Amino acid sequence: MIYALKGRFRGGDDMKLYIKTLGEFDIKADEQSILADSSRTYKINRLFEYFLTFRNKRLLPETIIDNIFADSESDDPKNVLRTQIFRLRKIINSINPKDSDLGKYLNMNFVNGYYCLETGENVIIDIEEFENLINAGDKENNLKASADFYQKAIDLYKGPYLSGNAYEVWLVPTRNYYHRLFIKTLFKHIELLKKSEEHERIVSLCEKTLLVEPFEESIHIELMEALLRLGQNKPAMNHYEYAYNLLEKEFDAKPSRRFTDYLTKIQNNSIVGSYADTADIKKDLKGDDFSSAMYCSFENFKSIFNVQKRKSLRSNQNDYLCILSIKNESNDIDKQNKIMRDIFLALGSNLRKGDVFTSWNNHQILIMIYDVQEKNIPCINDRIIKNIKEYTRIKENEIGLTFQPVYSQNGEGFESFVTDENSVM
């Protein structure tokens, strides 16, 4: 936001004006803010931020009115605009050093029916500095020098562009542009730090960035990866749990598979990096609940499936993979998610304790059924459908079940398990 001035800025033509837009708005001279908080200049605030966003560009009065004064009840919006620009000019003249060359500072012009806010060589705007540093890093061949440029650019990003103005539609494209540029630069910087194995710097960089971008999943992943590289398994696990709860609460959905896969990676890293006695191992292997069928992640299900397939090669045990499909045409995501949660409850309570199931997609569930005879499949089919109908409002014709032996010598079994989430072989 722009505010009332603390006092007229006095200085020669060598003085610099620094305008901060990434995060809270501010104007500084000699490292001191020259703005004082005031709630009486809201319309001029918006107008100044608009001209600053489109600085050095010619703007039609009609375009400005549509973006800034569309909610005005005045019968003469052009007169309102002229009045506000008159007041804005007074503020700009107060910002500029006394008796200075306006071409070196801020100058509001009206030429041939267009308004234009011109910024001179003594006006430094953080977004221009931000882009210049990134461009310098991109062009630099020396990795360390390039990383230093990226770090300086990242340090300038204190939050979204003009973050104090949250509701203006015209701000969205510019705000999104600088946000994307910041994230892109952050990951370019991280890649350079990886090459020089500066994992401590990556941890520090990610922790600092998460104060500004707490919901950027990829930053959490890079932080956990760096912690693992440093052998800090416990902090990595603590951060996983913190970030999982944060992201799930914010988006009301589980984080991506790329994120959740890090749980297994952290656990595996912990096992490789330490020794444990029998008691510790038994404690870690102990399951949470043996009273019902087991729900697990898809990756764990795939591992169980492939182990069981190998066992089937050496024994006469008959194991089946069941694909449960819900033929529901609803586009209501919340409703579909509730249906799947209810089905999970039904399966957990009514399948055998040794059976395992997992989510395949929003409409399908995979079930591993152990040691059953082919003649009993129709009975199992009917029991599953009955239990689902009791727990949910799904009609029988919306439930589809497909059974296939995990391994069969006549070639009809599931000989392989692919990772494509849209198909099962």
> Per-domain residue ranges for the chain?
4-125, 197-286, 294-405
Residue 3: its pLDDT value, please? 46
Q: What average pLDDT does this structure show over 81-110? A: 88
Rounded to the nearest integer, the mean pLDDT of the chain is 83
The 3-class secondary structure across the chain, one letter per residue, is: CCCEECCCCCCCCCCCEEEECECCCEEEECCEECEECCCCCHHHHHHHHHHHHCCCCCECHHHHHHHHCCCCCCCCHHHHHHHHHHHHHHHHHHHCCCCCCHHHCEEEEEECCEEEEEECCCEEEHHHHHHHHHHHHHHCCCHHHHHHHHHHHHHHCCCCECCCCCCCHHHHHHHHHHHHHHHHHHHHHHHHHHHCCCHHHHHHHHHHHHCCCCCCHHHHHHHHHHHHHCCCHHHHHHHHHHHHHHHHHHHCCCCCHHHHHHHHHHHHHHHHCCCCCHHHHHHHHCCCCCCCCEECCHHHHHHHHHHHHHHHHHCCCCCEEEEEEECCCCCCHHHHHHHHHHHHHHHHHHCCCCCEEEECCCCEEEEEECCCCHHHHHHHHHHHHHHHHHHCCCCHHHEEEEEEECCCCCCCCCCCCCCCCCCCC
Taking only the tens place, the pLDDT of each residue in 265-292 is 888 776 555 555 555 555 555 555 555 6
Contacts of 384 (CB under 8 A, 6+ apart): 322, 324, 347, 350, 351, 367, 401
Residue 370: is its pLDDT beyond 60?
yes
CA 115, distance to chain mean position in Å, is 38
Of 15-29, 182-196, 263-277, 403-417, where does mean pLDDT reach its minimum?
403-417
Integer angstrom CA distances of residue 256 from 160, 166, 261, 346: 24, 28, 9, 25
Residue 103: is its pLDDT beyond 90?
no
Taking only the tens place, the pLDDT of each residue in 107-117 is 999 999 999 99
Q: Tell me which fold the domain 294-405 belongs to.
A: Alpha-Beta Plaits (3.30.70)
Burial label, 274 (beta-carbon count in 10 A; 0-12, 13-18, 19+): exposed
| CATH architecture for the domain at 4-125 | Orthogonal Bundle (1.10)
Q: Tell me which fold the domain 197-286 belongs to.
A: 1.25.40
pTM: 0.63
Residue 207: is its pLDDT beyond 70?
yes
Residue 359: its pLDDT value, please? 82
Confidence band, pLDDT 50/70/90 cuts, at residue 36? low
Residue 2: is its pLDDT beyond 50?
no
Residue 391: its pLDDT value, please? 76
Same fold across 4-125 and 197-286? no
Residue 149: its pLDDT value, please? 97
Residue 39: is its pLDDT beyond 90?
no
Confidence band, pLDDT 50/70/90 cuts, at residue 46? confident
Q: What average pLDDT does this structure show over 127-142? A: 96
